[in-house]
Amino acid sequence: MLLRLMTSPLINLSNNILLAMGVVFVVSLGVSFVSAGIARRLFPSFRSGERKIGLFRRDQPAGGRELRTIELPLLGGPAMALGIVTAMLLVGWFALFDASAWLLTTILLLGFLGYGAVGFADDWRKVHRGEGISELQKFAGVLIVSFLAAIALNRLIPSARFAYSPYSEVPLLGGVLRNTHFAWVIFFILLTCTVGTATSLSVDFADGLDGLSGGLVFSTALAFAIIVAGEGINRDDWPLIALCLGIAGASLGFLPWNWPSSWAARGRGRARRHARIIMGDSGALGLGGLLALIAIVSRSPFQMVFIGGVFVLEGASALISAKLLTKFFRHYLHMSRFVGASFVPHTEFPLPFLATPLHQHFDLLGWDRRLIVYGAWTLSLIFAALGIATDMAPFTWERYLARFTVLLLGLLIWRVGTWTRGYFVGVYPVNSPHGRLALFYGYPYSLGRLPLYYRVEVVDVGPDAIFTPAEKAGLWQRLSIFDARALLGYYCYRAGYYTTALTQWEMIPERNLKLRPEIATLFAEVRERIAIEKEATQPMLRQNILGFAEQVLKNGHDSGVQSPAMGGNSPATETLSAESLP
């Protein structure tokens, strides 16, 4: 059914329209690909110098460091913008756009460039000042662009000037929108600002791994092209279809320069990075805003929720975890365990994820970055197909089934994220009498032969190092990451593996370590012990030995002992004389 829904609009297109749409796709792809390569040669130093401080980033220590050496040029956004604008101008001339089509195209392209300008300002500051614009400034920027686009669409595009379905048919609200002066104008502006701001920022949140946003935008744009084409082909819809195909082509042309890989700055072996440029905020905000405006004009803003399900998960995870729950917990959550602490870091709060947006959570779990991106692409294609079904399925029950499936799938992915937040210390191999202690995440269960956990790392300490019943009870219990690290380090400490214990405890941020005073005391003890042992095993320098020999000679003279030069026979001076040194 989904395949039939996705192909039937294309069959109904005339040959001339198909040719025009093919031209916009190919031109956008080619210009985006070529301009990205040229920009990479001309502006290789347009790289972010931002210092990103975070407790969870795997590519830097907790204190943060300059990332210019591992960041890539922020050139994907301008390259894709050039491809989309060039293709639209060419197809407008080729398809003989009339005045209304040119007007709609101009408004949408100006909105696209406006969103991109906000992102480019952020990129520019990262490159030249080492810090991007603030979150409030970014939010205000995209909100202003959304507001201006809403005013232009409502005043200049006839189809957006009056209340339309489904809003005009909602009980009570529909009557107000149809009959109250300026009610529809206010509602349309609010709708456009909400959808435009949320979508552009969600695409920006998703731009965190090589290739992630590019592939998601490609499938989303193609899905909207099919939906618009399936509503009946007329000249008023040509700009929308062309823009969707232009976005898809530009994204596809950009992807070879931003292809995903298993690469990470540290901690992932020697995987080679395939990406050569990144999209930057100019591309993420621009493409997200343009998709939102297309959804508004095509009267399909709710389809954006279904088609862009991955973007919804990325944006919702950041909003709920970082902006809502963290602030709520900071003011109202009283953790009995740390009741005497003056400050509790947010990393101790019962948040749903290790980090947000959602892809960072799975990255911190140690998942292969390439598999994360490929999985997100596949998930996006599924959401796109289901989103098309929610709009174009012939029967009502099919449309509702598709919506329910999207909701169920989204909740499942969300649950997988919250479910994998727990860690535990166990034995690897599992059920082996000669295993070693290991750190896992997930649940300490197996469903049939399918383990519901994943091994993070193994230490050279066996379970025989655990003696007391209380210590044994700590095995296989789901804990926070810092409690699990503290427990594993304690087991290593009890076994006499002080360096391994120190390695585990060093991964706990200082603020979180202070909340565990017993571990902090052992941590200080182990560091001092290792420092003393290291100093004791260091070879003595020649000048230090000479100084020690002179001190011995002096002490011997003061005590009446003769030196070898005076006929004495001191064993100490025989051993430490300067002539005996190499």
Give the mean model confidence (pLDDT) for residues 74-87: 96
- Residue 342 domain boundaries: 20-419
Residue 453: strand pairing partners? 442
Q: Is 70 exceeded by the pLDDT of residue 547?
A: no
Q: Is 8 domain-assigned?
A: no
Q: Is 50 domain-assigned?
A: yes
Note the pLDDT tens digit of each residue in 469-493. Answer: 988 999 999 999 999 999 999 999 9
Confidence of residue 46 (pLDDT cuts 50, 70, 90): very high
Q: Looking at residue 433, what is its pLDDT?
A: 76
CA distances from 465 to 28, 295, 472, 491, 494 (A): 63, 61, 10, 7, 7
Phi then psi dihedrals of residue 457, to 5 deg: -160, 160
Q: Is 70 exceeded by the pLDDT of residue 237?
A: yes
Q: Are residues 444 and 395 located together in one domain of the fold?
A: no
Q: Looking at residue 171, what is its pLDDT?
A: 87
Q: Looking at residue 570, what is its pLDDT?
A: 35
Give the mean model confidence (pLDDT) for residues 168-173: 85
> Where do we find the tokens 């919250």?
418
Q: Looking at residue 51, what is its pLDDT?
A: 65
Q: Are residues 67 and 175 located together in one domain of the fold?
A: yes
Confidence of residue 147 (pLDDT cuts 50, 70, 90): very high
Nearest CA to 458 out of 432, 420, 419, 421 is that of 432
Domains of the chain: total: 3
Q: Are residues 336 and 473 located together in one domain of the fold?
A: no
Q: Is 50 exceeded by the pLDDT of residue 191?
A: yes
Q: Are residues 437 and 466 located together in one domain of the fold?
A: yes
Residue 455: strand pairing partners? 440
Contact in structure between 423 and 439 (CB atoms under 8 Å): yes
Q: Is 14 domain-assigned?
A: no
Which position has the higher pLDDT, 535 or 419? Answer: 419
Note the pLDDT tens digit of each residue in 519-533. Answer: 999 999 999 988 887
CA distances from 269 to 72, 264, 273 (A): 20, 8, 12
Q: Percentage of the chain with pLDDT > 70?
A: 84
The 3-state DSSP composition of the chain as helix, strand, coil percent (nearest 5) reads: 65, 5, 30
Q: Is 80 exceeded by the pLDDT of residue 1?
A: no
Which position has the higher pLDDT, 40 or 231? Answer: 40
> Where do we find the tokens 């980033």?
57
Q: Looking at residue 253, what is its pLDDT?
A: 96
Q: Are residues 111 and 85 located together in one domain of the fold?
A: yes
Q: Are residues 342 and 436 located together in one domain of the fold?
A: no
Contact in structure between 113 and 81 (CB atoms under 8 Å): yes
Note the pLDDT tens digit of each residue in 423-479. Answer: 999 999 887 778 999 999 999 998 888 888 989 899 999 988 888 898 899 999 999
Confidence of residue 184 (pLDDT cuts 50, 70, 90): very high
**Domain endpoint, select from 361, 387, 419:** 419
Answer whether 0.85 is exceeded by the pTM: no
Q: Are residues 50 and 70 located together in one domain of the fold?
A: yes
CA–CA gap between residue 105 and residue 102 (Å, rounded): 5
Q: Is 12 domain-assigned?
A: no
**Domain endpoint, select from 402, 419, 436:** 419
Note the pLDDT tens digit of each residue in 321-352. Answer: 988 999 999 999 988 888 888 889 988 999 99
Q: Looking at residue 398, what is its pLDDT?
A: 92
Q: Is 124 domain-assigned?
A: yes
Q: Looking at residue 21, what is its pLDDT?
A: 82
Q: Is 9 domain-assigned?
A: no
Confidence of residue 551 (pLDDT cuts 50, 70, 90): low
Q: Are residues 392 and 494 located together in one domain of the fold?
A: no
> Where do we find the tokens 């219990």?
477
CA–CA gap between residue 2 and residue 366 (Å, rounded): 35
Q: What is the 3-state secondary structure (H, E, C) of 11-45?
A: HHCCHHHHHHHHHHHHHHHHHHHHHHHHHHHHCCC
- 425's enclosing H/E stretch is strand 423-428
Mean pLDDT, the chain, whole residue set? 85
Note the pLDDT tens digit of each residue in 70-80. Answer: 689 999 999 99
User: Among 44-53, 55-64, 145-154, 249-258, whose mean pLDDT is lowest?
Assistant: 55-64
Q: Are residues 204 and 327 located together in one domain of the fold?
A: yes
Q: Is 89 domain-assigned?
A: yes
Q: Looking at residue 232, what is its pLDDT?
A: 58
Q: Percentage of the chain with pLDDT > 90?
A: 56
Which position has the higher pLDDT, 571 or 511? Answer: 511
**Domain endpoint, select from 353, 384, 419:** 419
Q: Is 90 exceeded by the pLDDT of residue 39?
A: yes
Give the mean model confidence (pLDDT) for residues 382-399: 92
Name, in order, each residue with C-beta under 8 angstroms of 235's C-beta and a sequence gap of 6 or more: 98, 101
Count CA within 13 A, CB hemisphere, residue 259: 7
Burial class (CB in 10 A: 0-12, 13-18, 19+), 492: buried
Both tokens of residue 47?
């790289």
Task: Using DSSP, state whether 479 is helix, strand or coil.
Answer: strand
Nearest CA to 195 out of 83, 327, 298, 77 is that of 298
Q: Are residues 513 and 405 located together in one domain of the fold?
A: no
Q: Is 317 domain-assigned?
A: yes
Phi then psi dihedrals of residue 406, to 5 deg: -60, -45
Name, in order, each residue with C-beta under 8 angstroms of 464's C-beta and a sequence gap of 6 or more: none
Phi then psi dihedrals of residue 50, to 5 deg: -70, 140
Confidence of residue 186 (pLDDT cuts 50, 70, 90): very high
Q: What is the 3-state secondary structure (H, E, C) of 176-219?
A: HHHHCCCHHHHHHHHHHHHHHHHHHHHHHHHCCCCCHHHHHHHH
Q: Are residues 360 and 388 located together in one domain of the fold?
A: yes
Give the mean model confidence (pLDDT) for residues 32-45: 95
Q: Is 90 exceeded by the pLDDT of residue 95?
A: no
Q: Are residues 131 and 276 located together in one domain of the fold?
A: yes
